[in-house]
Amino acid sequence: MNNLPIDVIYEDNHLIVVNKRSGDIVQGDKTGDAPLSDIVKAYIKKKYNKPGDVYLGTVHRLDRPTTGIVLFAKTSKALTRMNKMFANKAIEGKTIIKKSYWAVTEQKPKNKKGTLIDYLRKNEKQNKSYAFEKEVNGSKRAELDYFITGSGDKYHFIEVTLKTGRHHQIRAQLSNIGCIIKGDLKYGAKRSNKDGSIHLHARLLEFMHPVKQELVTIIAPTPKDALWQAFEKMVKR
């Protein structure tokens, strides 16, 4: 890893995928903290002994307290094609992007599995999204599928597959049905996690490679804490 604080879980000449830690920011913001994009550039520069600037395009983002898969493009061609793929979701009726997340919640959804459809409106000042049953001014349609993987003594384990990609979508939609993600104070959790994380993990990403035209499936290991380990055991049963 060249002593850099990143966990690279996939890399080729066109793409690089990192398993993001809680607290890492994907791109620079007003905090001035070093973004993950700069750290990945430094990793590439050192690993391949590249002179000058390193090209790196950010394909998608994760919230700062969220962990899991973040995909970057190492060439402008790969970035353009991946951006188009993420925007279109499917070509000729074939799904080309699948994004699944794991969430640990304080309450359990009424049904074991289901689909949530809301209209989310972002409040810029609060950096928070609100869910509405019907379209309102400034809102965007949000859809996800969920499945309850299992339950422990205090928490419930939910797998979420995104159909759309909206600001804080999973956090807002689960909170809207009373299923607040563990540690997510912004969306109603009673207590924060000690490390400032929330129990939301970008677990799986599946897509057609933008150059090789081969199906790529990436799975990010969960953080090493007791709840995530319990989730892993339930899935493996």
Handedness of CA 137, 143, 144, 145 (dihedral sign): positive
Cα–Cα distance for residue pair 132/35, rounded to 1 Å: 33
Q: Give a yes or no: residue 2 inside a domain.
A: no
| Contact assessment for residue 165 and residue 101, using Cβ atoms and an 8 Å cutoff | no
Q: Give a yes or no: residue 179 inside a domain.
A: yes
The phi and psi torsions of 124 (rounded to 5 degrees) equal -65, -40
Query: pTM of the full predicted structure?
Result: 0.92
Over residues 152-170, the pLDDT tens digits come to 889 999 999 999 989 999 9
Q: Give a yes or no: residue 3 inside a domain.
A: no
**pLDDT score recorded for residue 62:** 93
**pLDDT score recorded for residue 87:** 83
Sequence-ordered strand ranges (E) for the chain: 8-11, 15-20, 57-58, 67-73, 90-91, 94-95, 97-105, 113-123, 128-132, 140-151, 156-162, 200-208, 215-219
Secondary structure (3-state) at 196: coil
Host domain of residue 198: 8-236
Which residues in the chain show pLDDT less than 70?
Answer: 1-4, 28-31, 89-95, 237
The pairing of beta strand 67-73 with beta strand 90-91: unpaired
**pLDDT score recorded for residue 3:** 45
**pLDDT score recorded for residue 232:** 86
Give the count of beta carbons closer than 10 Å to the beta carbon of residue 26: 21
CATH for 32? 3.30.2350.10
Q: Give a yes or no: residue 1 inside a domain.
A: no
**pLDDT score recorded for residue 28:** 65
Q: Give a yes or no: residue 14 inside a domain.
A: yes
**pLDDT score recorded for residue 52:** 87
What is the tally of structural domains in the chain? 1
Cα–Cα distance for residue pair 163/144, rounded to 1 Å: 5
